[in-house]
Amino acid sequence: MSAAEKKERKPAEPTIQPGIPVHPAKWVYPNLLMPLFGMTKASADWYRKNGDWLEGKHCKMNPKGLWVYNWQEIEQWMQGDVAA
């Protein structure tokens, strides 16, 4: 293979194998709230600051001082189970 041919070759596209489940961790960063719930970081901040989400249950600061969110508790809250 010539040098020109090597330059023209594109790297293989990454593929996701069908049937391999991917589950988020219990505590996720706000950027994962969009694919999980269709919720922006601004919405998450509003729910947290407004007191709709409880610190330690729905959200908490991680050791680096960044907010993380418990997606399972948020899912229950979104289903109307506010006592959960």
pLDDT computed for residue 5 by the predictor = 58
Q: Render pLDDT for 48-66 as a digit per residue (tens, 0 to 9).
A: 999 999 999 999 999 999 9
The CA distance from 84 to 67, in Å, is 20
- What DSSP designation does 12 have? P
Please say if the pLDDT value at position 84 is more than 60.
no
Six token digits for residue 64: 């680096």
Nearest Cα residue to 30 out of 46, 9, 13: 46
Residue 4: the pLDDT is 57
Full set of structural domains in the chain with CATH: 25-84 (1.10.1660.60)
Q: Which amino acid is at 47?
A: Y
pLDDT given for residue 77 in this prediction: 95
Give residue 23's pLDDT: 73
21: alpha, beta or left, given left = phi > 0 and alpha = psi -120 to 50?
beta
pLDDT at 12 over 70: no
Q: What is the pLDDT of residues 13-42, one digit of tens each?
A: 656 567 666 677 899 999 999 988 999 999
Read off the pTM. 0.70
